[in-house]
Structure 1
């Protein structure tokens, strides 16, 4: 029998007011139920927000190092369950065991990081023009935060929203994606075991169209943090800002890796393959476009095709690349493969759903490479959330940079080159929030800002590191004259 989970509201594990539940399934074996969750609605969301609002003042007044102690113990609790959570993430979302384990470890590290940051929270002392005036600033929590997170990093993304919010004295409500909410609930189990006061952090599962909407429009919510699709993100942004709420959104990407004629082609192929086919291509920072200098284009195509064909696909506990998370995601990827063919791109390898033997009814697709792609093709302009790479040929560095920037997104980008001048120009001129040299587009350090340009984010507040603290605090200036 599958596990059954409840909402966590005001320090108690509770059923949804609807009395209804929904199930998650293993994307490698869709007929296998993993767990059941509460099918919550507006009433449940409102109760969670009200609990967070009631707990807000007391948590804000709790000394920051005491808040840090709760986060530190939460990290310890998660670490004690690392293997269990890794297996749950693999079964519910489809990542390989190594990928899932890395994500769980990142979550642990995030809670440890913000636990230590609580020791340094405060303001700044400034010199005053008056002789008897002490002039300084202090940072105060925003209040109640509504957090809405996606399925592709179902424990790390909630963690990098929850930990800074709690560290800075905010209370919160989380609505995780319904595809894989189990590991997010584990965070709240760890917080509860760490002695977090009632109402400070709450989680309500169920559809974002009702639960999420009720959260972001509730009058007691002061800040909204959303990660997900551009279409939904723009609606979230409009709804939150109409009410004067502080808001940050991260909305996806169409990330390029430029391969220079000075690059080591074998190294470039390794970098692009890791950035495109890792986590089954289901990352907002995944490399979607390889923009390759004509002098090394043919050699690169041969190398990247070789890398793609060497990947062993199957259930995540045994193979190099797991399934897509759901049937709809798989169908979306297969649709884009057909669109690319119709547009005139050349299918160099892959392009098929994998069936039979070890694949069963799972949502598996071959690592896919298209060549002869023009940058105005839909396959090169629209986000494909699967293991599909477009290879675009360019004449020189100027052409490569222009092609890389000729897109509505601007999240992550990289260049593979041995030319220092190219590298320096690339990081200066690329229109992306993350720029890398001789590295894959995926992979983020937790102590530096993360966010995009253009349609990849609201371009308001960054996440992670000190930027995460900035989003959840308001600075007040104090004139103290006696």
Structure 2
């Protein structure tokens, strides 16, 4: 490996950085497999037990603080993260590949989330209810669960965990956080910001390790009262089953196979741009990324030609380079998954119009780069139209009319986000009413969600 002097990052337990009994493992840059971004813990169950014990011990004092006191600490953490945006963004780009502007934008989103939830410390927590007894005073109040386990993914290593950690903390819970190993260096830099903000020892703990040991351990741990998970459907179901078996509360955010519908009256340029942005930014590694592009017959050929033309102009490269539009896949396994789906699409009879190859020329040979792929002649029952790829692959599907387009859009087990491009209010209303997705957007890309809005699928 190129950097033999890579820094070592530890777990964060009881307000201190602590090495794991399991030793370390390297975090590798997807842009250059020879670069070690840092050495990270390969934690064992004893590390998780220590973190859970610390969180449990800190619960009573933390929940007794006024909401405004907890909020003040969140505001301080937000300020520190904002001051270190360049450092955190660069670590994110080096560690998981998204472009530097995207990484900085995500970090800024984490700051906004912290400030939003910091304000929740001054919201009401219950109601006074009239009683049939004139001498009785009856009221409701919300109380913390206790300790919340946060299992977060590598695709948004700052925004997603903060989106889970901030509400847990402001409402008086303590937290045990397991970040993805692929982005553990980024997580450690965020964790340092919370430490520097002065959070009491044990309130927020971080344990870095495998999903099978630490992630499943959180789901099964008797001292962890609630779990919030973001990741794949298969892993999420196992987390939910483990939590259900012991009566713990759980929240699962899993996959998507998100459609964009292009009506005949759509603004062609805007629709193409939204398809590219929604489907290919972050190398398609978003749960809300556009995957299925359902185009009504009358505009299909024109849309297809413009889409291929624009995608062919995208610059693929290291996310730290200023002219890069599309970075590498986050790791080698993800790259191989994407390439395997490209092969499946060809085998099933779809026509590969553009891309779909591993890029290996020059400096790209040391990274996990895939040329963005566009498939034509895709049938709704093909694997590339039904299964989550989590990569830069767009599947074009032709529809006779809007009614068939909505029917095709609903023809999947997923139902996270969906969008439509049209000028017709009738099309809009049909789409909003009939689309089986938790998030529907009109004349906007499928990816992205407002931090203050509900987020979930059907």
Whether TM exceeds 0.5 here: the answer is yes
Quick one: distance in 1 between partners of 2:182 and 2:456? 24
User: What displacement does 1:116 show?
Assistant: 1.1
Residue of structure 1 equivalent to 2:387: 382
Residue of structure 1 equivalent to 2:119: 116
CA contact under 8 A between 1:64 and 1:121: conserved in structure 2?
no
Quick one: distance in 2 between partners of 1:55 and 1:263? 55
User: What displacement does 1:85 show?
Assistant: 0.6
CA contact under 8 A between 1:233 and 1:251: conserved in structure 2?
yes
1:7 aligns to 2:15 (yes or no): no
Quick one: distance in 2 between partners of 1:214 and 1:387? 33
Quick one: distance in 1 between partners of 2:347 and 2:204? 49
User: What displacement does 1:255 show?
Assistant: 0.2
> Which of structure 1's runs of 4+ aligned residues deviate more than 6 A?
none
CA contact under 8 A between 1:143 and 1:170: conserved in structure 2?
yes
CA contact under 8 A between 2:67 and 2:170: conserved in structure 1?
yes
User: What displacement does 1:121 show?
Assistant: 3.9
Deviations 1:378-410 (A, max 9, x none): 110000111000000000111011111110001
Trace 1:383-422 onto structure 2 (pairs within 5 A).
383-422=388-427
Gaps of 5+ in 1: 454-482
User: What displacement does 1:358 show?
Assistant: 3.5
Candidates 141, 146, 151, aligned match of 1:143: 146
Q: How many residues align?
A: 452
Quick one: distance in 2 between partners of 1:32 and 1:165? 35
Residue of structure 2 equivalent to 1:466: none
User: What displacement does 1:367 show?
Assistant: 1.2
CA contact under 8 A between 1:121 and 1:168: conserved in structure 2?
no
CA contact under 8 A between 2:88 and 2:190: conserved in structure 1?
no
3-state SS in 2 of match to 1:292: strand
Quick one: distance in 1 between partners of 2:89 and 2:341? 31
3-state SS in 2 of match to 1:172: strand
Quick one: distance in 2 between partners of 1:274 and 1:353? 21
Gaps of 5+ in 2: none
User: What displacement does 1:126 show?
Assistant: 3.1
TM-score by structure 2 length? 0.97
Quick one: distance in 1 between partners of 2:341 and 2:222? 41
Quick one: distance in 1 between partners of 2:128 and 2:374? 56
The structure with the largest strand share of the pair is 1
Residue of structure 1 equivalent to 2:231: 228
User: What displacement does 1:306 show?
Assistant: 1.2
Candidates 41, 46, 49, aligned match of 1:46: 49
Residue of structure 2 equivalent to 1:469: none
TM-score by structure 1 length? 0.92
* 121 and 37 in structure 1: CA distance in 2 versus 1, 3 angstrom threshold: farther
Quick one: distance in 1 between partners of 2:254 and 2:143? 28
Quick one: distance in 2 between partners of 1:360 and 1:368? 19
